[in-house]
Protein backbone atom coordinates (compact mmCIF):
# COMPACT_ATOMS: atom_id res chain seq x y z
CA UNK A 1 0.00 0.00 0.00
CA UNK A 2 2.82 2.41 0.85
CA UNK A 3 4.60 1.68 -2.41
CA UNK A 4 1.39 2.19 -4.39
CA UNK A 5 0.83 5.47 -2.56
CA UNK A 6 4.28 6.77 -3.49
CA UNK A 7 3.92 5.66 -7.11
CA UNK A 8 0.52 7.38 -7.21
CA UNK A 9 2.09 10.60 -5.92
CA UNK A 10 4.77 10.44 -8.60
CA UNK A 11 2.25 9.83 -11.38
CA UNK A 12 0.05 12.71 -10.19
CA UNK A 13 3.01 15.09 -9.93
CA UNK A 14 4.14 14.03 -13.40
CA UNK A 15 0.72 14.91 -14.82
CA UNK A 16 0.73 18.26 -13.00
CA UNK A 17 4.20 19.09 -14.33
CA UNK A 18 3.18 18.20 -17.89
CA UNK A 19 0.04 20.34 -17.65
CA UNK A 20 2.09 23.24 -16.27
CA UNK A 21 4.54 23.02 -19.17
CA UNK A 22 1.74 23.03 -21.72
CA UNK A 23 -0.44 25.77 -20.27
CA UNK A 24 1.83 28.18 -18.37
CA UNK A 25 5.16 28.34 -20.20
CA UNK A 26 4.46 31.95 -21.23
CA UNK A 27 3.94 32.98 -17.59
CA UNK A 28 7.55 32.54 -16.52
CA UNK A 29 7.27 33.24 -12.78
CA UNK A 30 4.16 31.16 -12.20
CA UNK A 31 5.60 28.42 -14.42
CA UNK A 32 8.84 28.31 -12.40
CA UNK A 33 7.03 28.42 -9.06
CA UNK A 34 4.61 25.58 -9.88
CA UNK A 35 7.24 23.29 -11.41
CA UNK A 36 9.48 23.67 -8.36
CA UNK A 37 6.55 23.28 -5.98
CA UNK A 38 5.24 20.09 -7.61
CA UNK A 39 8.71 18.55 -7.76
CA UNK A 40 9.56 19.34 -4.13
CA UNK A 41 6.14 18.09 -3.06
CA UNK A 42 6.91 14.71 -4.64
CA UNK A 43 10.22 14.35 -2.82
CA UNK A 44 8.86 15.51 0.55
CA UNK A 45 5.70 13.38 0.40
CA UNK A 46 7.52 10.22 -0.69
CA UNK A 47 10.28 10.70 1.89
CA UNK A 48 7.70 11.17 4.65
CA UNK A 49 6.27 7.79 3.69
CA UNK A 50 9.73 6.20 3.36
CA UNK A 51 10.57 7.25 6.92
CA UNK A 52 7.66 5.13 8.16
CA UNK A 53 9.12 2.13 6.34
CA UNK A 54 12.51 2.48 8.01
CA UNK A 55 11.74 -0.24 10.54
CA UNK A 56 10.56 -2.82 8.00
CA UNK A 57 12.61 -6.01 8.19
CA UNK A 58 15.25 -6.76 7.18
CA UNK A 59 16.79 -3.57 8.58
CA UNK A 60 18.45 -1.50 7.18
CA UNK A 61 18.44 -3.28 3.82
CA UNK A 62 14.80 -2.57 2.99
CA UNK A 63 15.04 1.13 3.82
CA UNK A 64 18.29 1.56 1.88
CA UNK A 65 16.96 -0.30 -1.15
CA UNK A 66 13.84 1.86 -1.20
CA UNK A 67 15.96 4.99 -0.74
CA UNK A 68 18.09 4.09 -3.74
CA UNK A 69 15.14 3.07 -5.91
CA UNK A 70 13.01 6.12 -5.27
CA UNK A 71 16.00 8.47 -5.57
CA UNK A 72 16.56 7.08 -9.06
CA UNK A 73 12.88 7.59 -9.87
CA UNK A 74 12.99 11.17 -8.57
CA UNK A 75 16.05 11.88 -10.69
CA UNK A 76 14.40 10.48 -13.81
CA UNK A 77 11.05 12.21 -13.35
CA UNK A 78 12.06 15.59 -11.90
CA UNK A 79 14.65 16.77 -14.41
CA UNK A 80 15.20 20.52 -14.35
CA UNK A 81 14.06 21.00 -10.75
CA UNK A 82 16.31 21.65 -7.75
CA UNK A 83 13.95 20.67 -4.90
CA UNK A 84 16.55 21.91 -2.40
CA UNK A 85 16.94 25.50 -1.15
CA UNK A 86 20.69 25.00 -0.84
CA UNK A 87 20.91 23.87 -4.45
CA UNK A 88 19.10 27.10 -5.38
CA UNK A 89 21.34 29.30 -3.23
CA UNK A 90 24.50 28.18 -4.98
CA UNK A 91 23.64 29.55 -8.47
CA UNK A 92 22.20 32.66 -6.78
CA UNK A 93 25.51 33.40 -5.08
CA UNK A 94 27.40 32.41 -8.20
CA UNK A 95 25.35 34.75 -10.39
CA UNK A 96 23.70 31.96 -12.37
CA UNK A 97 20.16 33.07 -11.57
CA UNK A 98 18.68 36.31 -10.26
CA UNK A 99 17.85 36.85 -6.60
CA UNK A 100 14.15 37.20 -7.46
CA UNK A 101 14.05 33.91 -9.35
CA UNK A 102 16.04 32.15 -6.63
CA UNK A 103 13.76 33.51 -3.93
CA UNK A 104 10.73 32.37 -5.92
CA UNK A 105 12.10 28.83 -6.14
CA UNK A 106 12.95 28.69 -2.43
CA UNK A 107 9.46 29.94 -1.55
CA UNK A 108 7.98 27.22 -3.77
CA UNK A 109 10.12 24.59 -2.05
CA UNK A 110 8.98 25.52 1.45
CA UNK A 111 5.34 25.83 0.36
CA UNK A 112 5.64 22.32 -1.07
CA UNK A 113 7.23 21.07 2.16
CA UNK A 114 4.26 22.30 4.19
CA UNK A 115 1.69 20.98 1.70
CA UNK A 116 3.39 17.58 1.57
CA UNK A 117 3.34 17.30 5.36
CA UNK A 118 -0.34 18.25 5.51
CA UNK A 119 -1.20 15.81 2.73
CA UNK A 120 0.70 12.92 4.32
CA UNK A 121 -0.90 13.58 7.71
CA UNK A 122 -4.29 13.34 6.04
CA UNK A 123 -3.30 10.07 4.36
CA UNK A 124 -1.93 8.65 7.61
CA UNK A 125 -5.15 9.58 9.42
CA UNK A 126 -6.98 7.16 7.08
CA UNK A 127 -4.72 4.33 8.35
CA UNK A 128 -4.69 2.52 5.01
CA UNK A 129 -1.47 0.63 5.82
CA UNK A 130 0.06 -0.82 8.98
CA UNK A 131 2.96 1.71 9.11
CA UNK A 132 0.34 4.49 9.29
CA UNK A 133 -1.05 3.28 12.61
CA UNK A 134 0.07 5.71 15.29
CA UNK A 135 2.06 7.86 12.87
CA UNK A 136 0.15 10.99 13.87
CA UNK A 137 0.73 10.43 17.59
CA UNK A 138 4.43 11.21 17.21
CA UNK A 139 5.39 14.74 18.16
CA UNK A 140 9.06 15.37 17.45
CA UNK A 141 10.55 12.14 16.10
CA UNK A 142 13.96 13.62 16.96
CA UNK A 143 16.29 12.56 14.13
CA UNK A 144 19.25 14.16 15.93
CA UNK A 145 20.80 11.28 17.87
CA UNK A 146 24.10 13.00 18.67
CA UNK A 147 25.34 16.34 19.98
CA UNK A 148 24.38 19.53 18.19
CA UNK A 149 28.01 20.22 17.24
CA UNK A 150 28.48 16.77 15.73
CA UNK A 151 25.12 16.95 13.96
CA UNK A 152 26.04 20.37 12.54
CA UNK A 153 29.35 19.04 11.22
CA UNK A 154 27.72 15.94 9.71
CA UNK A 155 25.07 17.89 7.81
CA UNK A 156 27.69 20.42 6.68
CA UNK A 157 30.02 17.68 5.45
CA UNK A 158 27.26 15.73 3.71
CA UNK A 159 26.06 18.90 1.98
CA UNK A 160 29.56 19.62 0.66
CA UNK A 161 30.10 16.02 -0.49
CA UNK A 162 26.71 15.86 -2.19
CA UNK A 163 26.97 19.16 -4.05
CA UNK A 164 30.60 18.54 -5.02
CA UNK A 165 29.58 15.20 -6.52
CA UNK A 166 26.68 16.79 -8.39
CA UNK A 167 29.11 19.31 -9.92
CA UNK A 168 31.62 16.60 -10.84
CA UNK A 169 29.10 14.39 -12.64
CA UNK A 170 27.43 17.16 -14.65
CA UNK A 171 29.11 15.94 -17.85
CA UNK A 172 28.16 12.29 -17.26
CA UNK A 173 25.42 10.72 -19.37
CA UNK A 174 22.11 11.48 -17.58
CA UNK A 175 21.05 7.81 -17.47
CA UNK A 176 24.25 7.00 -15.54
CA UNK A 177 24.38 10.21 -13.52
CA UNK A 178 21.04 9.56 -11.81
CA UNK A 179 22.33 6.20 -10.54
CA UNK A 180 25.58 7.73 -9.27
CA UNK A 181 23.73 10.40 -7.32
CA UNK A 182 21.24 7.85 -5.97
CA UNK A 183 24.11 5.62 -4.85
CA UNK A 184 25.80 8.56 -3.10
CA UNK A 185 22.60 9.55 -1.27
CA UNK A 186 22.06 5.94 -0.18
CA UNK A 187 25.64 5.76 1.13
CA UNK A 188 25.23 9.03 3.05
CA UNK A 189 21.95 7.81 4.55
CA UNK A 190 23.69 4.58 5.60
CA UNK A 191 26.64 6.49 7.08
CA UNK A 192 24.76 9.21 8.97
CA UNK A 193 21.08 8.37 8.90
CA UNK A 194 21.15 7.04 12.45
CA UNK A 195 22.80 10.25 13.70
CA UNK A 196 21.04 13.12 11.90
CA UNK A 197 18.83 11.50 9.28
CA UNK A 198 21.32 12.60 6.58
CA UNK A 199 18.88 15.11 5.10
CA UNK A 200 21.05 18.06 3.88
CA UNK A 201 17.93 19.71 2.43
CA UNK A 202 16.28 22.49 4.51
CA UNK A 203 12.83 22.13 2.90
CA UNK A 204 12.81 18.36 3.28
CA UNK A 205 14.00 18.63 6.88
CA UNK A 206 11.14 20.99 7.70
CA UNK A 207 8.60 18.72 6.02
CA UNK A 208 9.86 15.65 7.89
CA UNK A 209 10.42 17.19 11.30
CA UNK A 210 8.33 20.36 11.56
CA UNK A 211 7.40 19.60 15.18
CA UNK A 212 11.08 19.47 16.09
CA UNK A 213 11.57 22.96 14.64
CA UNK A 214 8.65 24.19 16.75
CA UNK A 215 10.09 22.63 19.92
CA UNK A 216 13.79 23.39 19.40
CA UNK A 217 13.92 25.96 16.63
CA UNK A 218 17.45 27.26 17.25
CA UNK A 219 19.24 23.91 17.34
CA UNK A 220 17.29 22.40 14.45
CA UNK A 221 17.64 25.50 12.25
CA UNK A 222 21.40 25.48 12.86
CA UNK A 223 21.78 21.81 11.96
CA UNK A 224 19.25 21.43 9.14
CA UNK A 225 19.15 24.92 7.61
CA UNK A 226 22.38 26.77 8.36
CA UNK A 227 24.80 23.84 8.08
CA UNK A 228 23.80 22.67 4.57
CA UNK A 229 23.58 26.29 3.38
CA UNK A 230 27.14 26.92 4.59
CA UNK A 231 28.21 23.83 2.68
CA UNK A 232 26.95 25.39 -0.53
CA UNK A 233 28.66 28.72 0.31
CA UNK A 234 31.96 26.90 0.76
CA UNK A 235 31.71 25.42 -2.74
CA UNK A 236 30.86 28.78 -4.30
CA UNK A 237 34.00 30.35 -2.85
**pLDDT for 174-210, tens place per residue?**
889 999 999 999 999 999 988 998 999 999 999 999 8
When divided into structural domains, the chain yields a total of 2
How confident is the model over 4-9, as a mean pLDDT?
95
Contact 36, 82 (CB under 8 A): yes
Enclosing H/E stretch for 111 = helix 99-126
DSSP one-letter code for 139: S
- The fraction of the chain above a pLDDT of 70, given in percent, is 96
User: Among residues 72, 103, 132, which one ends one of the domains?
Assistant: 132
- What is the reported pLDDT for 234? 59
- Nearest CA to 39 out of 70, 83, 2 is that of 83
User: What domain range includes position 160?
Assistant: 148-234
- What is the reported pLDDT for 143? 83
Q: Looking at the structure, do residues 10 and 98 belong to the same domain, yes or no? A: yes
Q: What is the CA radius of gyration of the chain?
A: 17
- What is the reported pLDDT for 4? 94
- Nearest CA to 17 out of 25, 27, 26 is that of 25
Per-residue pLDDT tens over the stretch 82-117: 999 988 987 887 777 889 999 999 999 999 999 999
Q: Looking at the structure, do residues 46 and 4 belong to the same domain, yes or no? A: yes
- What is the reported pLDDT for 171? 87
Q: Looking at the structure, do residues 117 and 53 belong to the same domain, yes or no? A: yes
CA distance 194 to 102: 32
- What is the reported pLDDT for 236? 52
Q: Looking at the structure, do residues 85 and 6 belong to the same domain, yes or no? A: yes
Please tell me whether the peptide bond between 225 and the residue prior to it is cis, using omega within 30 degrees of 0.
no
CA distance 122 to 228: 30
Contact 146, 121 (CB under 8 A): no
Burial of 79 (0-12, 13-18, 19+ CB in 10 A): exposed
Q: Does residue 127 come out as left (phi exceeding 0), alpha (psi in the -120 to 50 range) or beta?
A: left
Residue-averaged pLDDT of the chain:
90
pTM for the whole structure: 0.93
Which stretch of 48-52, 67-71, 133-137 has the lowest confidence by average pLDDT?
Answer: 133-137
In a domain, 140, yes or no: no
Q: Looking at the structure, do residues 51 and 96 belong to the same domain, yes or no? A: yes
User: Among residues 132, 164, 186, which one ends one of the domains?
Assistant: 132
CA distance 137 to 227: 29
**Residue 140 predicted with pLDDT over 80:** no
In a domain, 69, yes or no: yes
CA atoms within 13 A on the CB side of 59: 8
**Residue 224 predicted with pLDDT over 90:** yes
In a domain, 138, yes or no: no
User: Among residues 64, 97, 132, which one ends one of the domains?
Assistant: 132
Q: Looking at the structure, do residues 47 and 72 belong to the same domain, yes or no? A: yes
Per-residue pLDDT tens over the stretch 147-168: 999 999 999 999 999 988 988 8
Amino acid sequence: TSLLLMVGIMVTVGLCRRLTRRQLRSHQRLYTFLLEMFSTFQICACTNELCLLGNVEPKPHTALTLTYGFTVLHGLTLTGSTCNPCGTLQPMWGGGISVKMGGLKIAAQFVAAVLARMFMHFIWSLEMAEPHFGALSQSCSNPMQTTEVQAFCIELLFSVVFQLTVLRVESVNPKYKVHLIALLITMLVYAGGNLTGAIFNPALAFSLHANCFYDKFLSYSLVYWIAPSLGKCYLVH
